[in-house]
Chains A and B, each alone.
Chain A
Amino acid sequence: MTASLEKGVRVLKEVIDAPIASYFNSCVHCGLCAEACLFYTETGNPKYTPIHKLEPMRRLYEQEYTLLGRLKKTVGLSKPVTDAELGEWQELVYNSCTLCGRCSAVCPVGNDVVYMVRKFREGMSASGNAPEGIKGAANRTITIGSPMGVKLPAVKAQMKHVEKDFGIPIPMDVEGAEYMVMLSSMEIMNFPEYLGAIAKIMQHVGKTWTLCSTAFEATNAGMQIGNSDLARVIVSRIVEGAEKLKVKTVISPECGHAYTALRWEGANLVGRPFTFKVQHIVEVLGEFQELGLLKTEGFEKVRLTFHDPCQLARRGGVIQPQRNLLNMVAKNFVEMPDAGYMNWCCGGGGGASAIEEGEALRLEAFKVKKSQFETVKPDRVVTACANCRIVLEEGLEHYQMDLPVVGLTEMVADHLVAKGA
Chain B
Amino acid sequence: MQGPLIESLARQGVSRRTFSKYCATLASMMALSPVAGQAMASALAAAPAATRRPSVIWLPFQECTGCTESITRSHSPTIEGMIFDMVSLDYQETLMAAAGFQAEEALHTAMKENQGKYLLIVDGSVPLALEGAYSCIAGRTNLELLKEASRGAAAIVAMGSCAAFGGLPHANPNPTGAVAVSDIIKDRPIVNVPGCPPIPVVMTGVLAHFITFGSLPELDALGRPKAFYGETIHDRCYRRPFYDQGKFAKTFDDEGARNGWCLFELGCKGPVTYNSCATTKWNAGTSWPVESGHGCLGCSEPDFWDAGGFYRALSVPAGPLQMVGAAAAVGVATGAAVSFLNRAKKRAAKAGHETTTLADLEK
Query: With A67-B338, A230-B356 as given contacts, are A128 and B349 in contact (CB-CB < 8 Å)?
Result: no
CA distance A308 to B342 in the complex (A): 40
Interface check B52, CB cutoff 8 A? no
Greatest chain A CB density within 10 A among B334, B349, B350 is at B349
B359 touches A227 (CB 8 A): no
Interface check B254, CB cutoff 8 A? no
Cβ contacts under 8 Å, A4 to chain B: 363
CA distance A142 to B356 in the complex (A): 12
Within 8 A of A (CB), among B332-346: 334, 338, 342, 345-346
Query: With A11-B353, A229-B356, A229-B357 as given contacts, are A65 and B363 in contact (CB-CB < 8 Å)?
Result: no
B280-310 to A contact mask, C-beta < 8 Å, 1/0: 0000000000000000000000000000000
Interface check A414, CB cutoff 8 A? no
A13 touches B349 (CB 8 A): yes
Interface check B360, CB cutoff 8 A? yes
Q: How many residues of B contact A (CB 8 A)?
A: 19
A1-35 to B contact mask, C-beta < 8 Å, 1/0: 11110010011011010000000000000000000
Interchain CB contact (< 8 A) of A225 among B334, B338, B342, B361: B361
CA distance A2 to B354 in the complex (A): 10
CA distance A294 to B43 in the complex (A): 115
* Residue in chain A with minimal CB distance to B343: A65
A contact patch SS: helix
A2 touches B349 (CB 8 A): no
Query: With A10-B349, A13-B345 as given contacts, are A128 and B334 in contact (CB-CB < 8 Å)?
Result: no
CA distance A229 to B361 in the complex (A): 11
A64 touches B345 (CB 8 A): yes
Query: With A13-B345, A67-B334, A67-B338 as given contacts, are A2 and B359 in contact (CB-CB < 8 Å)?
Result: yes
Interface check A238, CB cutoff 8 A? no
Within 8 A of B (CB), among A128-149: 128, 130, 135, 138-139, 142-143
B360 touches A11 (CB 8 A): no
Expressed in whole angstroms, the minimum distance between the Cβ of B330 and any Cβ of chain A is: 13
Interface check A252, CB cutoff 8 A? no
A138 touches B345 (CB 8 A): no
CA distance A128 to B357 in the complex (A): 11
* Residue in chain B with minimal CB distance to A125: B361
Interface check B77, CB cutoff 8 A? no
* Residue in chain A with minimal CB distance to B335: A67
A128 touches B363 (CB 8 A): yes
Interchain CB contact (< 8 A) of A227 among B338, B346, B356: B356
Cβ contacts under 8 Å, B363 to chain A: 2-4, 83, 127-128
Interface check B362, CB cutoff 8 A? yes
* Residue in chain B with minimal CB distance to A139: B358
Cβ contacts under 8 Å, B360 to chain A: 1-3, 7, 126, 128
Expressed in whole angstroms, the minimum distance between the Cβ of B27 and any Cβ of chain A is: 60
B358 touches A14 (CB 8 A): no
A1 touches B361 (CB 8 A): no
B355 touches A128 (CB 8 A): no
B361 touches A128 (CB 8 A): yes
A135 touches B346 (CB 8 A): no
B361 touches A3 (CB 8 A): yes
Expressed in whole angstroms, the minimum distance between the Cβ of A4 and any Cβ of chain B is: 7
B349 touches A11 (CB 8 A): yes
Cβ contacts under 8 Å, B338 to chain A: 66-67
Interface check B352, CB cutoff 8 A? yes
Within 8 A of B (CB), among A77-110: 83
Interchain CB contact (< 8 A) of B350 among A7, A14, A127, A139: A14
Q: How many residues of A contact B (CB 8 A)?
A: 29
CA distance A7 to B363 in the complex (A): 10
B358 touches A1 (CB 8 A): no
A130 touches B361 (CB 8 A): yes
B361 touches A14 (CB 8 A): no
CA distance A347 to B334 in the complex (A): 45
Cβ contacts under 8 Å, A10 to chain B: 349, 352-354
Query: With A11-B349, A13-B349 as given contacts, are A229 and B355 in contact (CB-CB < 8 Å)?
Result: yes
Cβ contacts under 8 Å, B362 to chain A: 2-3, 128, 135
Expressed in whole angstroms, the minimum distance between the Cβ of A223 and any Cβ of chain B is: 13
CA distance A11 to B342 in the complex (A): 14
* Residue in chain B with minimal CB distance to A67: B338
Expressed in whole angstroms, the minimum distance between the Cβ of A189 and any Cβ of chain B is: 22
CA distance A64 to B357 in the complex (A): 26
Expressed in whole angstroms, the minimum distance between the Cβ of A233 and any Cβ of chain B is: 9
Within 8 A of B (CB), among A51-89: 64-67, 83
* Residue in chain A with minimal CB distance to B361: A135
Query: With A3-B363, A4-B363, A227-B361 as given contacts, are A14 and B346 in contact (CB-CB < 8 Å)?
Result: yes
CA distance A230 to B355 in the complex (A): 9
Cβ contacts under 8 Å, A11 to chain B: 349, 353
CA distance A65 to B338 in the complex (A): 8
Cβ contacts under 8 Å, B353 to chain A: 10-11, 14
Expressed in whole angstroms, the minimum distance between the Cβ of B360 and any Cβ of chain A is: 5
Cβ contacts under 8 Å, B349 to chain A: 10-11, 13-14
Cβ contacts under 8 Å, B358 to chain A: 138-139, 142-143, 230
CA distance A227 to B359 in the complex (A): 13
Expressed in whole angstroms, the minimum distance between the Cβ of B321 and any Cβ of chain A is: 24
Greatest chain A CB density within 10 A among B349, B356, B357, B363 is at B356
Within 8 A of A (CB), among B317-339: 334, 338
* Residue in chain B with minimal CB distance to A13: B349
Cβ contacts under 8 Å, A7 to chain B: 354, 356, 360
CA distance A127 to B353 in the complex (A): 13
A125 touches B356 (CB 8 A): yes
CA distance A162 to B56 in the complex (A): 122
In order of increasing CB-CB distance, the 7 nearest A-B pairs are A128-B363, A13-B349, A229-B356, A14-B349, A229-B355, A3-B363, A10-B349
Interface contacts beyond A14-B350, A138-B358, A229-B355: sample of 6 additional A-B pairs, CB < 8 Å, sorted by A: A2-B362, A13-B345, A13-B349, A14-B353, A142-B358, A227-B361
Q: List 9 A-B contacts (CB under 8 A).
A: A1-B360, A2-B359, A2-B360, A3-B360, A7-B360, A10-B352, A11-B349, A14-B346, A65-B342
Question: Which residues of B pack against A, CB within 8 Å?
Answer: 334, 338, 342, 345-346, 349-350, 352-363
Question: Which residues of A pack against B, CB within 8 Å?
Answer: 1-4, 7, 10-11, 13-14, 16, 64-67, 83, 125-128, 130, 135, 138-139, 142-143, 225, 227, 229-230
